[in-house]
């Protein structure tokens, strides 16, 4: 495997740099130091054609605002926090409310909008991109100075391991994830509603009408959220179920069972992706609105042309439900590991 590094642009005296890792078989992985954004994952289809299976912008400047969080590292916390209010060790914190009336994806300047330090580590069987950043005390009104490291380990066999680590000098909240929009048709050719999904989940978290968890756990049986057997993503995506209406499709927390497996396939290209994680949940988001910005294809991505699998702890809802899953005590090490395996189905 080999890697290349390119300065794409200088914005406000900061270099926007891409890091590309490629294998002899054509497998490619590319990120930016801006937001740790994944801009490219190139995998073959049944005929060996290599295409990009994540959404991304044509103009790198669009990642400055990145309103859809394309490919970004999300933190300190993923998802919404109800009204931005939390109590940590008896003290109330009023986090910035960028998702009025809630906080979402870490605030106005979350990890997906930071410039990260990147080191390249060449190992025997992989190339690792090590991203480092510091989130300072009171940033977005969170307590504690937090040192964060994220490793992307890229292997020749079409495998990516994503490993997160964080440590804080005060008890705080950390719940990180990746926000890539996948589309296994390649180069955003067809909607994700034509792809087939299996999720090892017996239950989801009920959302209120502002899309935060109520604290209630809902069994997926006989609902549009039952993906325990492989099912076309579009089969129930416009169902009359109240939770589907609230999310305008899928935008829900699936609680993962033993194995923590997620699998999706595109039956035309024969591409597949398996995801395993050590996290309790995955937020599945079916891109329920259009994007007004131009993608690398030259077109504006339409709703349902990408799907996110945000592996994480459950987000913090009403009455601070599930907050314990996001608490990082002073001096403890937060860890998270998610593995992506790509292949072509015979």
Q: Block means of pLDDT (10 residues each) for the chain, length 346 residues?
A: 96 94 97 98 98 97 96 98 98 96 97 98 96 98 98 98 98 98 98 98 97 98 98 98 98 89 97 97 97 96 97 98 98 98 96
Q: Can you give the pLDDT at residue 104?
A: 97
Q: What is the pLDDT of residue 106?
A: 97
Neighbours of 249 (CB within 10 A): 25
pLDDT for 11 equals 86
Element (DSSP H or E) covering residue 122 = strand 117-122
Distance CA 163, CA 244 (A): 32
pLDDT recorded at residue 258: 76
Strand arrangement of the beta sheet that strand 14-22 belongs to: 2-11, 14-22, 28-32, 38-44, 50-52
Contact of 312 with 176, CB cutoff 8 Å: yes
Interior/surface letters 154-184, b for 16+ CB within 10 angstroms, e for the rest? bbeebbbbbbbbbbbebbbbbbbbbbbbbbb
Output 236-240 pairs: Cβ under 8 A, ≥24 positions apart: 237/193, 237/286, 237/304
User: In this predicted structure, what is the pLDDT of residue 337?
Assistant: 97
Residue 281 pairs in a beta bridge with: 255, 312
């Amino acid at each position: 495997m080999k890697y290349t590094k390119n300065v794409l642009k200088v914005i406000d005296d900061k270099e926007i740099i891409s890091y590309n890792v490629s294998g002899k078989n054509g497998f490619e992985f590319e990120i930016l130091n801006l937001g740790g954004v994944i801009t490219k994952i190139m995998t073959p289809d049944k005929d060996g054609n290599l295409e990009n299976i994540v959404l991304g912008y044509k103009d790198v400047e669009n990642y400055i605002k990145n309103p859809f969080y394309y490919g970004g590292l999300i933190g300190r916390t993923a998802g919404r926090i109800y009204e931005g209010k939390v109590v940590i060790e008896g003290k109330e914190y009023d986090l910035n409310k960028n998702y009025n009336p809630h906080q979402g994806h870490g605030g106005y300047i979350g990890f997906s909008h930071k410039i990260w330090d990147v080191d390249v580590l060449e190992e025997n069987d992989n190339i690792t991109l090590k991203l480092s950043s510091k989130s300072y005390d009171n940033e977005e009104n969170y307590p504690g100075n937090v040192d964060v490291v994220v490793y992307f380990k890229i292997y020749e066999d079409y495998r990516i391991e994503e490993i997160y680590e964080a440590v804080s000098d005060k008890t705080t909240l950390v719940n990180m994830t990746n926000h890539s929009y996948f589309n296994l048709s390649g180069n955003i050719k067809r909607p994700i509603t034509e792809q087939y999904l299996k999720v090892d989940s017996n239950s989801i978290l009920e959302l209120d009408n502002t899309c935060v968890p109520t604290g209630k756990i809902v069994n997926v049986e006989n609902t549009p959220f039952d993906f325990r057997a492989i099912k076309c993503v579009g089969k129930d995506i416009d169902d009359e179920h109240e939770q589907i209406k609230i999310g305008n499709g899928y935008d829900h927390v699936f609680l993962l069972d033993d194995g923590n497996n997620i699998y999706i396939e595109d039956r035309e290209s024969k591409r597949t992706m398996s995801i395993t994680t050590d996290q309790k949940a995955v937020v599945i988001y079916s891109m329920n609105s259009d994007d007004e910005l131009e993608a690398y294809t030259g077109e504006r991505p339409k709703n349902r042309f990408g799907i996110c699998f945000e592996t994480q702890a459950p987000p913090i809802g009403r009455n601070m439900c599930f907050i314990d899953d996001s608490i990082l005590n002073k001096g403890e090490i937060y860890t998270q590991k998610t593995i992506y395996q790509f292949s072509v189905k015979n």
